Amino acid sequence: MTGGTRLAGEVAVPGAKNSVLKLMAASLLAAGRTMLSAVPDILDVSVMSKVLAGLGATVERDAAGGRLSIEVPQAPGVAADGELVRQIRASVAVLGPLVARRGEARVALPGGDAIGSRALDIHVNGLTKLGALVDVESGVLVARCSGRLQGASIWLDFPSVGATENLLMAGVLAKGTTVIDNAAQEPEIADLCAMLTAMGGRIDGAGSSTLIIDGVDQLTSVEHRTVADRIVAGTYAIGALMTGGDVLIRHGQAAHLSIVLEKLVQAGAEVDVRDDGFRVVGRGQPRSIDVVTLPYPGFPTDLLPQIIALESVSRGTSLITENIFDSRFAFCRELHKLGADLRTDGHHVIVRPTARLSGTRVTASDVRAGAGLVLAGLVADGVTEVSDVHHIDRGYARFVENMTDLGADIRRVSDRAVA
């Protein structure tokens, strides 16, 4: 890509990566056909489709129309394909549904982004309280339950999104009442609760830190529309401010990005919230802001690389603190190659202003780092080449095409690079 152009125009935000993968896992809770709409055309959906197919489901995808059909058999398999599971961490979400419905689940220890340790202890402890016996056998997480899971009161040591989702899906078919305290509150969990409720689940407290689930004997398959992707929306919003642009982000839900949009306003953006999205306008050089990532409704860790890219071209010094993942700052090494003035210290990074970024070759280490590097390349002098963009494909549908439509001078030269 060649820097120096401003983003202007409209972009439509698809359904959320962080929701649709869990909705796909939830389809395992009921025999029959689940229909999902607003499904993003991303690599992770393809991988998760193969995981479900390996469990006996028939998955049909209309990528252009954003629809996904999942036909689940009466007795799905219990062993998820290890090679596929290691490609995306979200595949561990099949653990709760399988042990709840089949009494057994075998899921390889998952892979995904290289952004630090994300232990499964919270998942395991919760399932154990529900009556499952959980062990690791040759790199495979095995959960078994003789008979039906039993409702229990579960306190999460950390509001883990993945653990909340797994225990929620296990709890809807458990006997009795399950209470999950200190649950994650992300909009994607509320989306999962909405689908499970439509399937016949009984859930109180969606969107709060306490979920109360009254188990039912059986669920039915449904049609469900995926909530809009707030991280994709936030990425385009930051890009608009960085480039002094003017972007209408259609389908973006401002309520899910309240702290992010507040920070962008502090940095100099004009934000206009509309019925079907919001508009972000950047005028002049952004002002520096300090950011601390926290579980929702705090500033999302998935927008950390993008906000660091913004700070690298802002006026003044900023302090960015990461409280979720211990290796998220690996992105800073690549941004430094573009000329950013960064200094990391544990969970903090100090970003000082620099006259200009300068294009060079950089490597995407994960989904969000890749997006952050593209944003940096949009404002860097000369040509920036981002390699390993298969990471970006995992979470951003039509990213290059959308950026081009907004006026960016960007093209894909292979599956492994954007230039």
For the annotated catalytic residues, the residue numbers are 113
Q: What string of H, E and C letters represents the secondary structure of 85-124?
A: HCCCHHHHHHHHHHHHHHCEEEEECCCCCCCCCCCCHHHH
Q: Is 175 annotated as a binding residue?
A: no
Is 18 annotated as contributing to ligand binding? Answer: yes
DSSP state, residue 317: -
> For residue 416, what are its two tokens?
């492994």
181 is in an annotated binding site: no
Q: Closest Cα to residue 24, out of 107, 97, 104, 124?
A: 97
Cβ neighbours for 168, distance < 8 A, ≥ 6 positions apart: 96, 180, 183, 189, 192, 193, 196, 203, 211, 213
Integer Cα distance of 313 and 322 in angstroms: 20
For residues 102 and 344, what is the distance between their CA atoms, to the nearest angstrom?
A: 47
Cα angle, residue 34 at apex, residues 30 and 37 outer, rounded to 5°: 150
Check the CA dihedral 194-14-185-157 and report its sign.
positive
Which of 132, 139, 64 has the alpha carbon at shortest distance from 107?
139
Q: What is the DSSP letter of 358?
A: B
Judge whether 17 is annotated as a binding position.
yes
**Is 130:150 a contact under the CB 8 Å cutoff?**
yes
Sheet of strand 318-321, all strands in order from the earlier edge strand to the far edge:
291-292, 318-321, 348-352, 341-345
81 marked among binding-site residues: no
List binding-site positions for phosphoenolpyruvate. Answer: 17-18
List binding-site positions. Answer: 17-18, 89, 302, 324
